[in-house]
Amino acid sequence: MILYYDTKTGNVQRFINKVVQITGWTAVRIQESMQIEEEGHLVTFTTNFGQIPAITQDFMDRNSSKIFSVSSSGNRNWGRNFGVAADKISSLFDIPLAFKFELSGTMDDIYQFIDIIKNQYYDSKRGSKKLDIA
């Protein structure tokens, strides 16, 4: 299992570190102009009160065909814009929304995310919207 992720403040990095520690999955921080070979899941953040981060957008423009699902961190203080980058990515690239978590997530969030990726969408092909439970 590969998790591709983008982080700015470190919240997504902390979330990913916990997931990797528990599961042993591979995590790759996305970079500008990155082209991937292996399929995986995307975890990103929401910026500027509801925008997709520029590096995440560029990554998806290049690699969306290899991404099974999207998850996002956010801040509930943003109200309806909480984790909305995942909603936008899901809609723009027709990729299921797996999960939204606040800041770096709680341990319950970590285990719920693992359960969703492992049991509800592991090795599934795109096109299914059954992950839209966030």
* pLDDT (0 to 100) of residue 121: 58
Q: What is the pLDDT of residues 22-70, one digit of tens each?
A: 999 999 999 999 999 999 999 999 888 788 999 999 999 999 999 999 9
Return the ∠ at Cα 14 (arms to 47 and 11), rounded to 5°: 20
* pLDDT (0 to 100) of residue 13: 96
Listing DSSP states for 9-39 in one string gives: SSHHHHHHHHHHHHH--EEEE--TT---SS-
Give whichever of 81-85, 91-95, 124-128 has the largest mean pLDDT: 91-95
Cβ partners under 8 Å of residue 79, min gap 6? none
Q: What is the pLDDT of residues 56-66, one digit of tens each?
A: 999 999 999 99
- Average pLDDT (2-19) is 95
Q: What is the pLDDT of residues 84-102, one digit of tens each?
A: 999 999 999 999 999 999 8
Instruction: Kindly report the CATH number that applies to the domain delimited by 2-120.
Output: 3.40.50.360
Whether the pLDDT of residue 73 is over 70: the answer is yes
* pLDDT (0 to 100) of residue 131: 43
Domain boundaries, the chain: 2-120
Higher pLDDT, 129 or 26: 26
- Would you give the DSSP letter of residue 65? G
pTM of the model: 0.87
